[in-house]
Every structure is written in structure tokens, then in C-alpha cells.
Amino acid sequence: MLDDHLFNLDLEGWEASIAVENGRVKLKLLHGTYHEKFKEMRPGQAWLVKSEDEFYLKVVFSKTIELLEPNGKAIAVDVNENNVAFGLGDYITIIETGERAIRTTYFLKRRRLQSKLRLNEKPLLAKYRGREKRRIEYIYYKIANHIISEARKTRASTIILEDLKNIRKKVRFLKAINGRLSRWSFRKLQNVIGYKAKLAGLNVKYVDAKGTSSLCPVCGVKLSLNGHRLMRCPVC
């Protein structure tokens, strides 16, 4: 790990200067067009990571963003296990994530691997975990960008998310369903949406989830509430 005084970045010449025992070492940074945006940001801590015969410099960047003044327009986002519904007023967009199928597929692959003794089980498990993580994160960032684009189009100043804290403690289903819900990373998706929203200058507000999902996000049918638990859609 490198504190900010142990390394310097020259993002115009794409070089890194890293302090070592007898002075400093200059390294040329391989980069792409994606990294151009970091020229506007301030570097913080960094990690020098070795992967096989290659070295990577992982840097934390920060940027000061001026948030928009609330104008009464907001995009409400309803995060579900297999889809995300969002919209302003009566206009609602529903995006199927396919997360349930992806999570279940990789869960079954890992369980099959662990059920039998194999020589190279750990590297294979790590490979599957990496693939699953990349597929899910790609979907999350794609959804977040879609929501931010909709907010800009409608000139909304705020993104509203549900406060889903302790949601797993509030539901009690069959073992298979509980396992499936435990693999659902709703907090990660909300963090991605919140991060992208703030980066775009939008306000992010969390509200109590109670009573917010009175309509089925798939077919729009009115759902009945039983105490604090949302009953299953009678159509879907």
C-alpha cells in the first residue's frame, strides 16, 4: 500500500514515480481511453499489485461534485431480485437483470465442484467467482447508467432508493428461497446507482421501504399487504 507521499502520478505523460529504499523508481503506465477521465480527479492512496509477471497500480481517485438544487423531480428506483423498476410519476421502466439465473448457475457449479475431490478445485472456484462478479457488475453499471440517463432526460434532481437494511432478517421462506435471497446483492446495486448518481451531480435519498412496492414491478397488478410482508403477485 502506498500513501500519497510515497508515489506521484503524471497523467499527462502517464508515468508513476514510486518511493523505494534508495530513492524513487519511475514506471511507464499502460492506459486506455477509459483512464483519461482520471486527469480531472485527485489521487489518494494506491496499491501496487503483482499478478503473475505483471504489475498493476490501483489508485483511489476523488472528485468534488456540486449537487443540483432539489427541484421537486425525482426518479424512484425499486430494486428487486430479478428486475429493477424506476420512473418519474406514472412513467415506469422495468429492466430484467437476469441476476437470479446467473447467481443460481454459478452456485450450482460451485456445489458440483465441492461435492467431489479435485486436484485444482480452488483455482477453478476462484475463476467462477470472478466470472460471476464481472457479469453481475456489468449489469449493475449498465442499469445505473440507464437510470442516470433517464434522470437527465426528465431533468430530475434526485434519485430515490429504498432503505433495505435488515431485509433478510424480515423474511422467512423455505431454505432454497432464503439461500437465493442471501445471494442477491441488492446493497451493491444500490451503491453503484448512488455512486453514479452523485458523480452526475444528482442527490440521493433513501426512504422507508414499507408500502413502497404496492404494485407488482413485472405486471403492475395491485398487491395486497400482510403486515410488513408483501404478498406474492397473484398474476406473476
Q: What is the pLDDT of residue 164?
A: 75
Per-residue pLDDT, 119 = 60
What local confidence, expressed as pLDDT, does residue 235 receive?
47
d(CA 15, CA 29): 5
Q: Give the per-residue pLDDT at 187.
A: 87
Check pLDDT > 60 for residue 227.
Answer: no
Percent of the chain with pLDDT over 70: 79
Question: What is the 3-class SS of the chain, one letter each residue?
Answer: CECCCCEEEECCCCEEEEEECCEEEEEECCCCHHHHHHHHCEEEEEEEEEECCEEEEEEEEECCCCCCCCCCCEEEEEECCCEEEEEECCEEEEEECCHHHHHHHHHHHHHHHHHCCCCCHHHHHHHHHHHHHHHHHHHHHHHHHHHHHHHHHHCCCEEEEEECCCHHHHCCCCHHHHHHHHCCCHHHHHHHHHHHHHHCCCEEEEEECCCCCCECCCCCCECCEECCEECCCCCC
164-202 confidence digits (pLDDT tens) = 776 656 555 556 666 666 667 788 999 999 999 999 999
- Residue 225 pLDDT: 36
**What pLDDT, on a 0 to 100 scale, did the predictor assign at position 76?**
92
Q: Is the pLDDT of residue 220 over 60?
A: no
- How much is the average pLDDT of 204-213? 76
Q: Please give the domain boundaries of the chain with CATH numbers for all domains.
A: 7-62 (no CATH), 74-230 (3.30.420)
Q: Which range among 73-87, 117-131, 145-159 shows the weakest confidence by mean pLDDT?
A: 117-131
Calculate mean pLDDT across residues 56-80: 92
Percent of the chain with pLDDT strictly greater than 90 = 50
pLDDT band at 88 (very low <50, low <70, confident <90, very high): confident
Say what the pTM is.
0.74
Among 148, 136, 137, 135, residue whose Cα is nearest residue 93: 148
pLDDT for position 165: 74
Q: Each residue of 95-150: pLDDT tens digit?
A: 999 888 898 888 888 888 877 766 667 788 888 889 999 999 999 999 999 999 99
